[in-house]
């Protein structure tokens, strides 16, 4: 294996060639982080003779893991064995599957996503505190339990430490939730980290077995780790402490998901022998953008000192548009977008970034008005659609016969006589007898206690599931299609769609897309092995299809833009109360402001050539027009890097009928929407 390191700058090369021991690479935005990780892995194999499967690389998304794997394959097409590249949760799943007995699980276990967990907890909270509390507080209870699990706090200890009635409710729900999940032989996302950590920390043989598998551990986006992930990494690192972490504390923006910026800030404390390399040469943005961004982030007191240096020239000052109102702001931003498009910059190379998705409304109105195609990143996921969740639940019932949550979801979908009373009776019988719901539905004594209509529906459902299970290994897609036909699921689609034939066809096409996904998987992995497909779609971040949208403008939140770049970026609504967000300041004080400052920095450094910042002097909130002030972060930017422009409201007469249509046509022509041949 040969490796050309001349393509690296001196700091990148220093990180790549580090001989061993703990290494912290502080990689600022646009400094070639992925290249460093990829080249370091390649260097370990090419120069140090480390076998690929002795190297473990951890990323935070499957997309990042795929990108790293693809880069290595381009460098070494015949590379074998390939390094192990995975997310934290993916690695945790692999460990649990091999150590399932030690983790207290049977071999075939489903992974419950947020919706499944919510369903389990809704039932538990309803039993503890009634339906009204379940509907009102289940998400809060779910969040508290997740936090306790990430802190490795046992439910018994949580109950002892309860400070008020709500914490007591959460602790009691946690106790039942733990037992319920054990009975279901299921795990949630938190378990994918917690169970491996507990095993490796409590079982010395297991720790030696797993830490002995890998000579080097590399972690990407280290600023996004939490205590549980840190403990997993520490348990996997052997005595040589060959741990390389790459990240940027200035881009730690996921505190609300449990990320702890303290982990990257305290790396040298956790590993005193650590070597630190700082990457400051930025290959993405022009100098004026980096200077402005540094002016914002440098005011954070808790950060590693660093300043990005542009390799692309000085750039031009940043326009700051001060608009009379939110509609004026939207009009000016859309006008600017179209001007850039007419000048040769495709819509796909532009983005509008918002602190909160709720700010999108006026921009959507203007974009629709001028017929400019756009996509919103963060809208409803394909896998979150009602009909998709139903069909996936049916498949889970076939693959995992003891998956009661999936079964209860489709028990009366479509309607087959199971009202609330019958459903509760079946669920209670399953719990009290220690059997799965499917097994209970086959018990004649239980069926005698429900209505004739419910009995008939139960028998038809169980027969359909059994038939599909028998056919699954032959052709998974065909088995699922037949199951949906047997249970008359199309009746459910007709009920959802009502009298709208387009809605019905749309939902049918969504199911066709899901079936196509199964066909594609089976063509690669053989028929019937759909438990792995189910796990993949549960672990994989939801794909909104934005990468295949083609020539469209992207609207997304500051958080959603992390890791992306665009030649032209509009930061809109840059006002006090929005950025920094009033809730962050109220709930987290100084720490909240620091996180918001990092969020502003991330948003600014998405821009490559041009950054335009805007605000509205007046914004409508809670039914009232409220005065707005420019964000304190704008005030931090030196005036030589900022050009202020006042955008005044233009008085326009109200137009009706043909006059309105003529004005619309004129405006579209001025924006170039109408081709001269059609004028």
Residues labelled catalytic: 33-34, 220-221, 251, 606
- For residue 605, give every residue at least 6 positions away whose Cβ sits within 8 Å of its Cβ, in sequence order, or none: 29, 30, 284, 285, 289, 290, 293, 308
Question: DSSP assignment, residue 379?
Answer: S
Q: Tokens for 496?
A: 């959802």
C-alpha–C-alpha distance, residues 28 and 310, integer Å: 11
Give Cα 674 to chain centroid, integer Å: 39
Q: How far apart are the first and last CA of the chain?
A: 62
Which 3 state secondary structure label does DSSP give 68?
helix
Q: Name the residue with tokens 């005065």.
A: 627
Q: Tokens for 259?
A: 């990320």
Q: Which residues pair with 217 in a beta bridge?
A: 56, 243
C-alpha–C-alpha distance, residues 99 and 402, integer Å: 20
Q: How many CB atoms lie within 10 A of CB 419?
A: 13
3-state helix, strand, coil in the chain (%, to 5): 55, 15, 30
Give Cα 207 to chain centroid, integer Å: 30
Helices 287-297 and 582-604, axial angle in degrees (round to 10): 150
| CB-based burial, 223-247: b 16+ in 10 Å, e otherwise | bbbbbbbbbbbbbbbbeeebbbbbb
Question: DSSP assignment, residue 271?
Answer: S
Contact 36, 246 (CB under 8 A): yes
Contact 273, 22 (CB under 8 A): yes
């Amino acid at each position: 294996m040969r490796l050309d390191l001349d393509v690296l700058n001196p700091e990148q090369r220093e990180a790549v060639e580090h001989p061993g021991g703990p290494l912290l690479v502080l990689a600022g935005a646009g400094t070639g982080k992925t290249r460093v990780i990829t080249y370091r892995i390649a260097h370990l194999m090419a120069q140090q003779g480390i076998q690929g499967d002795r190297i473990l690389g951890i990323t935070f998304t499957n997309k990042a893991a795929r990108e790293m794997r693809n880069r290595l394959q381009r460098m070494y097409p015949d590379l074998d064995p390939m390094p192990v590249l995975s997310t934290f949760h993916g690695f945790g799943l692999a460990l649990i599957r091999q150590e399932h007995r030690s983790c207290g699980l049977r071999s075939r276990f489903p992974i419950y996503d947020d919706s499944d967990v919510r369903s389990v907890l809704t039932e538990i909270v309803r039993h503890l505190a009634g339906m009204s509390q379940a509907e009102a507080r289940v998400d809060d209870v779910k969040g508290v339990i997740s936090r306790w699990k990430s802190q490795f706090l046992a439910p018994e200890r949580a109950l002892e430490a309860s400070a008020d009635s709500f914490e007591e409710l959460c602790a009691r729900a946690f106790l039942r939730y733990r037992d319920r999940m054990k009975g279901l032989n299921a795990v949630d996302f938190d378990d994918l980290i917690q169970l491996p950590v507990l095993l490796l920390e409590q079982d010395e043989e297991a720790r030696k077995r797993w830490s002995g598998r890998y000579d080097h551990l590399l972690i990407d986006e280290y600023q996004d780790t939490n205590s549980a992930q840190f403990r997993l990494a520490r348990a996997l690192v052997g005595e040589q402490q060959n741990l390389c972490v790459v990240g940027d504390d200035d881009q730690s923006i996921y505190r609300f998901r449990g990320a702890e910026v303290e982990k990257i800030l305290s790396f040298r404390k956790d590993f005193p022998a650590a070597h630190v390399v700082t990457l400051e040469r930025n290959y993405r943005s022009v100098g004026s953008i980096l200077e402005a961004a540094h002016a914002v982030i440098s005011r954070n007191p808790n950060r590693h000192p660093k300043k990005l240096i542009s390799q692309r020239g000085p750039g031009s000052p940043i326009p700051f548009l001060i608009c009379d109102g939110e509609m004026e702001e939207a009009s000016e931003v859309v006008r600017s977008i179209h001007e850039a498009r007419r000048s040769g910059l495709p819509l796909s190379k532009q983005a509008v970034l918002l602190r909160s998705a709720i700010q999108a409304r006026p921009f959507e109105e203007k974009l629709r008005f001028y017929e400019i195609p756009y996509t919103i990143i963060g809208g409803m996921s394909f896998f979150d659609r009602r009909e998709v969740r139903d069909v996936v639940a049916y498949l889970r019932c076939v693959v995992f016969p003891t998956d009661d949550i999936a079964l209860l979801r489709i028990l009366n979908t479509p309607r087959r006589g199971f009202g609330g009373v019958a459903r509760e009776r079946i669920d209670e019988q399953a719990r009290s007898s220690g059997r799965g719901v499917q097994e209970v539905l086959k018990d004649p004594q239980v069926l005698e206690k429900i209505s004739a209509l419910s009995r008939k529906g139960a028998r038809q459902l169980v027969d359909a599931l059994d038939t599909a299970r028998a056919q699954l290994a032959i052709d998974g897609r065909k088995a699922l299609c037949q199951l949906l036909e047997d249970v008359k699921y199309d009746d459910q689609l007709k009920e959802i769609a009502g009298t709208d034939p387009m809605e019905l066809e749309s939902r049918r096409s969504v199911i066709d897309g899901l079936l196509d996904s199964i066909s594609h998987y089976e063509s690669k992995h053989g028929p019937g092995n759909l438990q792995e497909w189910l796990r993949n779609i549960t672990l994989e971040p939801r794909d909104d299809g934005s990468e295949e949208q083609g020539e469209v403008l992207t609207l997304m939140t500051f958080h959603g833009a992390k890791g992306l770049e665009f030649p032209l970026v509009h930061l809109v609504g840059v006002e006090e109360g929005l950025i920094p967000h009033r809730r962050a300041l109220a709930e987290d004080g100084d720490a909240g402001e620091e996180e918001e400052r990092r969020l502003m920095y991330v948003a600014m450094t998405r821009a490559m050539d041009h950054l335009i910042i805007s605000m509205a002097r007046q914004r409508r909130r809670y039914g009232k027009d409220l005065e707005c002030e420019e964000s304190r972060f704008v005030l931090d930017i030196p005036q030589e890097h900022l050009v202020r422009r006042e955008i005044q409201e233009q008085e326009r007469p109200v137009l009706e009928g043909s006059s309105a249509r003529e004005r619309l046509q004129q405006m579209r022509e001025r924006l170039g929407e109408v081709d001269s041949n059609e004028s």
